[in-house]
């Protein structure tokens, strides 16, 4: 190999400056043209490798075909005494990899500028039909003046044809060779590249997304300890978008999600579109007063909260007279928004536990013991609506005279001023509902089409069918004014559908909980509960401008009235639920782990670990060590953990690929291997309990609004256990495996039943006044369950015939205990020592209740027209 001081042709070698899988790079002096150059030499042990040699020569030809300010130029391709080398532009500065390793995440404006220049380089390459295939921070140089140079086209290839890849170019032929070379670098490989499939320009778009993510997060999106683990992450996991700096705007976050879509068909299709997005994002600091001069999002200075009396069960009232509906006019003449607090003991489903009347005068909310309350904002007291117990998901009629809600397996309505409740239609549960101007109700059920029914009652019909491309569950429908359409939330974002035909179209990606504001905006939130808004034209049903932050504080749920009043529920930053130990008298002791969005905790058989779901993830908490780890990588939707009987693995439901429905998987905590699929299911399958005796997994699935119970047998086949026209769910094996408890609404309400197993007959009713969430004591002597009052225990005999004792109330839920989770798996577990592992609301007292902002819509109207 070349040595310092050696002269090759007219190049004098100065020093070695780098080495990679495709060659050694030297600094040299071109004595003919009196300039410094870089000499890239193919290593001697590669020269006899025809594939390596072909790639080396291809790099020279491809570089010669490119002439762009952001791509290092080639000066010549030479061969001396069998040694081949490329003479190319020597780029001053440092690599992006070195910069990130030294400084971590880059300032937003600098990262966007570097990304824009990388996009311009890739755009020029792709215009010539060239794919880089090894874009990464180490192959991006930034000069002292800030100019970006994309280097090392050693793996580049032309594209445009179809068919299978040639063996010599397949990244999976030798991910790691004997000399350590990799055809593409694992953390930046696209999924199709890692699988050895044909690649095109979308492979570079994926790598571009990885590089942009790394600049903004200060860490790799898919970096793991080994190449194999990294490739598993590339194929199965999603980037940890939560690691992005808080000032990264929504426009750039959406660009990242599009660039890092695993399916090439759903990925950003042209790098030029990324360049345009980045140019617009970089222009925003000069145009948008919400941005600081450095390009970082400047948080609005918080407005002073209105001082006043904190009334128990009341509202901090300052000016009741501001509650009237104001006529339209010059927003400059309107008062600044006034903020008030309503103290309300909201139910567990805080985001769907309250509603605001269209005129902005009245709140309806679900309080303690699922009681529906009404509170006029010009009064001090809230009033319970008699007959509306067990309520969820309230919503107002357009004239405010009625409140719709769900209770006892049906949608019902009750006069706002009180009166008899009326049943509208059957529904196993609902995930939101909205009332049309012409007297219909659109509602969402779990794993069901969006449905519509007359508000006078009757049979509901399907409005929008479930489409795999936008998820398996719809929620939070919201009727547009004039019944112009219905907005609703799908798995991937907000969708707009016709009320007459049910035809739908995607409207906003990565957005939730849509609400139309009379200011001419759609208000929505992201997964982190930040509230955003975007202009929306009711005539054309089109968005205009870019979304922008609309509320300085996160909100778990919110509502907007026609008069511009805004109501939202506050949450505790960083998580709002605490895991606690509770004894049989109801005394609680919090665990040492930080609060989080936890539900459905499960103790391992030895009691040393906890698997708990939260925010589309499953966490494994090690009690002796006090550590918390994620069972599956970030971005993969995982739910409902269940330990195997030996405790070696955790069974769960997951969707590893966005376009696929949820399926059953299991994985050992801490295992480097990817999750293993147990059985494909045509619908949602929720695991609940393993039997040590029969080695079976009890689970339940959904067929529209109704549940059915199955068992997964050791040979991988599925056995039907309960398949009726009732809603049957949540099966759990007793420890000895000869009894099975489950929930059914066969009597007209949810009750807990026990059957002998595997006979499944006769069926014994063990609950007394309704019940859900059965959990067996570790010794099998008692069965625990929950109803509207609290946690109960009942003795169930293990003799020849089943018999049950009288249920005993152990302790009420109380304001400190988390309410029942409802239809799903139990939201608690029983320990061997007799204690219970439960989930408690961990919000600060000052965050409890609802916040009211009067004239909030004026803030939206003051936004520039382009926003």
Domain with residue 836: its CATH number is 2.120.10.30
3-state secondary structure labels for all residues of 711-754: EECCCCCEEEEECCCCCEEEEEECCCCCEEEEEECCCCCCEEEE
At 341, the pLDDT band (50, 70, 90 cuts) reads confident
> Is residue 281 located within the same domain as residue 155?
yes
What is residue 306's predicted lDDT score, i.e. its pLDDT?
28
Average pLDDT of the segment spanning 557-578: 77
For 163-179, b/e burial (b = at least 16 CB within 10 A) is eebeeebbbbeebeeee
- How do residues 101-110 score in pLDDT, each as one tens digit? 999 999 999 9
> Is residue 248 located within the same domain as residue 119?
yes
* Pair type for strands 588-590 and 577-582: antiparallel
Average pLDDT of the segment spanning 574-597: 82
Of the chain, the percentage scoring pLDDT greater than 70 comes to 77
Q: Give the whole-angstrom CA distance, residue 254 versus residue 259.
A: 9
- How do residues 5-18 score in pLDDT, each as one tens digit? 888 888 998 988 87
Q: Give the whole-angstrom CA distance, residue 19 versus residue 75.
A: 20
What is residue 472's predicted lDDT score, i.e. its pLDDT?
54
What is residue 351's predicted lDDT score, i.e. its pLDDT?
60
What is residue 177's predicted lDDT score, i.e. its pLDDT?
31
What is residue 479's predicted lDDT score, i.e. its pLDDT?
96
For 757-784, b/e burial (b = at least 16 CB within 10 A) is beeeeeebebbeebbbbbbbbbebebbb
Average pLDDT of the segment spanning 795-816: 80
- pLDDT of 344 strictly over 80: no
> Is residue 673 located within the same domain as residue 787?
yes
- pLDDT of 188 strictly over 70: yes
At 50, the pLDDT band (50, 70, 90 cuts) reads low
> Is residue 29 located within the same domain as residue 101?
no
> Is residue 164 located within the same domain as residue 260?
yes
Q: Compute how many other C-beta atoms are within 10 angstroms of the C-beta atom of residue 418.
A: 13
Helix (H) or strand (E) holding 782: strand 782-786
Of the chain, the percentage scoring pLDDT greater than 90 comes to 34
- pLDDT of 576 strictly over 70: no
Instruction: Give pairs for 813-817: CB < 8 Å, separation 24+.
Output: 813/369, 813/786, 813/789, 814/586, 814/790, 815/345, 815/368, 816/588, 816/840, 816/841, 817/582, 817/586, 817/588, 817/790
Of the chain, the end-to-end C-alpha distance in Å amounts to: 60
Average pLDDT of the segment spanning 476-482: 95
- Of 325 and 256, more confident: 256
CATH number at residue 217: 1.10.510.10
At 825, the pLDDT band (50, 70, 90 cuts) reads confident
Domain ends where: 269, 287, 305?
Answer: 287
> Is residue 33 located within the same domain as residue 107?
no
Q: Is residue 355 part of a domain?
A: no
Average pLDDT of the segment spanning 431-443: 94
Q: Which residues pair with 651 in a beta bridge?
A: 642, 666
> Is residue 21 located within the same domain as residue 113?
no
Active site annotation includes 408: no
Residue of 113, 134, 204, 288 with catalytic role: 134
Q: Is residue 788 part of a domain?
A: yes
Q: Is residue 646 part of a domain?
A: yes
- How do residues 503-547 score in pLDDT, each as one tens digit? 888 899 888 899 999 989 999 998 767 889 999 999 999 998 889
Q: Give the whole-angstrom CA distance, residue 698 versus residue 719.
A: 10
Q: Give the whole-angstrom CA distance, residue 296 versus residue 284.
A: 10
What is residue 223's predicted lDDT score, i.e. its pLDDT?
84
- pLDDT of 736 strictly over 70: yes
The answer to whether the beta carbons of residues 193 and 169 sit under 8 Å apart is: no
Q: Which residues pair with 489 in a beta bridge?
A: 475, 494
Q: Is residue 335 part of a domain?
A: no
DSSP codes joined into one string, 288-332:
-TTB-TTSSBPPPPPPPPPP----TTSB--S-GGGGSPPPP--GG
Q: Give the whole-angstrom CA distance, residue 680 versus residue 498.
A: 33
The answer to whether the beta carbons of residues 133 and 192 sit under 8 Å apart is: no
- Of 45 and 581, more confident: 581
Residue 199, Cβ density class (10 Å: 0-12 exposed, 13-18 middle, ≥19 buried): buried
- pLDDT of 338 strictly over 90: no
Q: Is residue 748 part of a domain?
A: yes
Provide Rg for the chain, Cα atoms. Answer: 31
- How do residues 457-474 score in pLDDT, each as one tens digit? 999 999 987 654 444 568
> Is residue 196 located within the same domain as residue 57?
no
Q: Give the whole-angstrom CA distance, residue 189 versus residue 583.
A: 51
- Of 408 and 815, more confident: 408
> Is residue 45 located within the same domain as residue 127?
no
Q: What are phi and psi of 222, to 5 degrees?
A: -130, 20
Q: Give the whole-angstrom CA distance, residue 544 versus residue 547.
A: 9
Q: Is residue 333 part of a domain?
A: no
- How do residues 295-337 score in pLDDT, each as one tens digit? 333 333 332 322 232 333 333 333 333 333 333 344 344 455 6
- Looking at residue 469, the DSSP 8-state letter turns out to be G
Domain ends where: 244, 259, 287?
Answer: 287
Average pLDDT of the segment spanning 556-577: 76
Total count of domains within the chain: 3
- pLDDT of 345 strictly over 50: yes
Q: Is residue 263 part of a domain?
A: yes
Domain ends where: 89, 115, 149?
Answer: 89
Model confidence, pTM: 0.47
Nearest to 142 by CA among 102, 173, 175: 102
Q: Give the whole-angstrom CA distance, residue 651 versus residue 632.
A: 12
Average pLDDT of the segment spanning 61-77: 75
Q: Give the whole-angstrom CA distance, residue 582 versus residue 590.
A: 9
What is residue 537's predicted lDDT score, i.e. its pLDDT?
92
Q: Give the whole-angstrom CA distance, residue 416 versus residue 356.
A: 12
- How do residues 681-728 score in pLDDT, each as one tens digit? 555 678 999 998 999 999 987 655 567 888 888 888 888 898 887 888
Q: Is residue 356 part of a domain?
A: no
Q: Give the whole-angstrom CA distance, residue 151 versus residue 142.
A: 11
Average pLDDT of the segment spanning 755-783: 93
> Is residue 694 located within the same domain as residue 820?
yes
- Of 818 and 863, more confident: 863
- How do residues 448-459 score in pLDDT, each as one tens digit? 788 999 999 999
Nearest to 504 by CA among 522, 481, 527, 477: 477
Work out the mean pLDDT of the chain and round it to a whole number: 79
CATH number at residue 51: 3.30.200.20
Residues whose CB falls within 8 Å of the CB of residue 530, separated by 6 or more in sequence, listed in order: 549, 551, 554
Residue range(s) defining the domain that contains residue 17: 7-89
Nearest to 123 by CA among 61, 69, 47: 69
- How do residues 378-436 score in pLDDT, each as one tens digit? 787 889 998 898 888 999 999 999 999 998 889 999 999 999 999 999 887 788 999 99
> Is residue 161 located within the same domain as residue 32?
no
> Is residue 81 located within the same domain as residue 115?
no
């Amino acid at each position: 190999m070349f040595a310092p001081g050696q002269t090759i042709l007219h190049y004098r070698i100065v020093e070695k400056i780098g080495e990679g899988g495709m060659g050694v790079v030297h600094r040299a002096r071109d004595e003919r043209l009196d300039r410094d150059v870089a000499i890239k030499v193919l290593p001697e042990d590669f020269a006899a490798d025809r594939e390596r040699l072909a790639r080396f020569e291809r790099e020279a030809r491809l570089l010669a075909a490119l002439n762009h300010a952001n791509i290092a130029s080639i000066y010549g391709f030479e061969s001396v005494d069998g040694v081949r080398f490329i003479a190319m532009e020597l780029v001053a500065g440092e690599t992006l990899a070195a910069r990130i390793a030294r400084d971590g995440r880059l300032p937003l404006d600098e990262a966007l500028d570097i990304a824009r220049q990388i996009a311009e380089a890739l755009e020029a390459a792709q215009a010539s039909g060239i794919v880089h295939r090894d874009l990464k921070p180490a192959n991006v140089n930034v000069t002292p003046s800030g100019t970006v140079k994309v280097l090392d086209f050693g793996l580049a290839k032309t594209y445009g044809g179809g068919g299978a890849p040639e063996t010599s170019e397949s990244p999976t032929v030798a991910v790691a060779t004997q000399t350590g070379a990799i055809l593409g670098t694992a953390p930046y490989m696209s999924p199709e590249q890692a699988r050895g499939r044909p690649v095109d320009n979308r492979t570079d778009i994926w790598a571009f997304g990885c590089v942009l993510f790394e600049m903004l997060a200060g860490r790799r999106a898919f970096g793991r300890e080994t190449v194999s683990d990294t490739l598993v992450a590339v194929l199965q996991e999603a980037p940890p978008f939560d690691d992005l700096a808080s000032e990264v705007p929504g426009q750039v976050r959406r660009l990242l999600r599009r660039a890092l879509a695993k399916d090439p068909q759903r990925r950003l299709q042209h790098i030029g579109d990324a360049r345009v997005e980045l140019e617009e994002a970089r222009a925003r600091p000069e145009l948008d007063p919400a941005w600081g001069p450095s390009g970082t999002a400047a948080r609005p200075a918080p407005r002073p909260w209105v001082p006043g009396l904190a009334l128990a069960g009341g509202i901090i009232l300052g000016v009741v007279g501001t509650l009237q509906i104001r006529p339209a006019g010059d927003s400059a003449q309107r008062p600044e928004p006034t903020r008030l607090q309503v103290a309300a003991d909201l139910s567990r489903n805080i985001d769907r536990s309250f509603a605001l009347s269209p005129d902005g005068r009245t709140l309806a909310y679900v309080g303690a013991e699922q009681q529906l309350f009404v509170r006029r904002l010009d009064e001090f007291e809230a009033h319970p609506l008699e007959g509306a117990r067990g309520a969820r998901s309230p919503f107002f009629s357009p004239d405010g005279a009625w409140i719709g809600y769900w209770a006892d397996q049906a949608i019902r309505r009750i006069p706002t001023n009180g009166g008899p409740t009326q049943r509208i239609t059957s529904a196993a549960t609902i995930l939101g509902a909205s009332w049309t101007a012409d007297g219909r109700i659109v509602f969402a059920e779990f794993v069901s089409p969006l449905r519509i029914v007359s508000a006078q009652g009757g049979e509901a019909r399907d409005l929008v069918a479930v489409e795999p491309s936008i998820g398996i569950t719809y929620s939070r429908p919201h009727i547009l004014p004039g019944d112009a359409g219905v907005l609703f939330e799908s798995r991937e974002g907000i969708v707009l559908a016709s009320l007459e035909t049910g035809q739908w179209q995607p409207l906003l990606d990565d957005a939730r909980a849509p609400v139309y504001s009379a200011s001419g905006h759609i208000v929505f939130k992201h997964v982190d509960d930040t509230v955003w808004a975007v202009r929306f034209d009711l005539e054309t049903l089109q968005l205009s401008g870019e979304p922008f932050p609309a509320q300085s504080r996160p909100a778990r749920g919110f509502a907007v009235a026609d008069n511009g009043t805004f109501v939202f529920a506050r949450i505790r930053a960083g998580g709002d639920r605490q895991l606690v130990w509770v004894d049989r008298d109801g005394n609680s002791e919090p665990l040492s782990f930080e609060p989080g969005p936890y539900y459905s905790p499960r103790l391992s058989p030895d009691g040393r670990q906890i698997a708990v779901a939260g925010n589309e993830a499953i966490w494994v908490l090690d009690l002796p060590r006090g550590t918390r780890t994620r069972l599956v990588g970030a971005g993969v939707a995982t739910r409902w953990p269940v330990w195997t009987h030996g405790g070696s693995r955790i069974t769960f439901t997951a969707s590893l690929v966005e376009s696929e429905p949820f399926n059953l998987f299991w994985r050992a905590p801490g295992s480097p291997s990817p999750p293993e699929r147990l059985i494909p299911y045509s619908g949602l399958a929720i695991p609940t309990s393993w039997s040590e005796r029969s080695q079976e997994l009890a689970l339940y699935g959904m067929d529209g609004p109704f549940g059915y119970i199955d068992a997964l047998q050791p040979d991988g086949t599925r056995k039907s256990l309960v398949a009726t026209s009732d809603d049957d769910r949540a099966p759990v094996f007793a420890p000895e495996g000869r009894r099975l408890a489950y929930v059914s609404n066969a009597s007209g309400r949810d009750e807990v039943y026990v059957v002998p197993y595997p006979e499944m007959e006769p069926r014994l009713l063990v609950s007394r006044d309704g019940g859900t969430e059965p959990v067996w004591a570790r010794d099998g002597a008692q069965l625990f369950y929950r109803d509207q009052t609290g946690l109960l225990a009942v003795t169930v005999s293990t003799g020849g015939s089943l018999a049950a004792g009288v249920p005993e109330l152990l302790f009420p839920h109380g304001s400190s205990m988390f309410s029942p989770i409802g239809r799903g798996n139990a939201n608690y577990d029983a320990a061997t020592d007799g204690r219970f592992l439960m989930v408690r609301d961990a919000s600060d007292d000052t965050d409890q209740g609802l916040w009211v902002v009067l004239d909030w819509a004026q803030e939206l109207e003051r936004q520039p027209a382009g926003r």
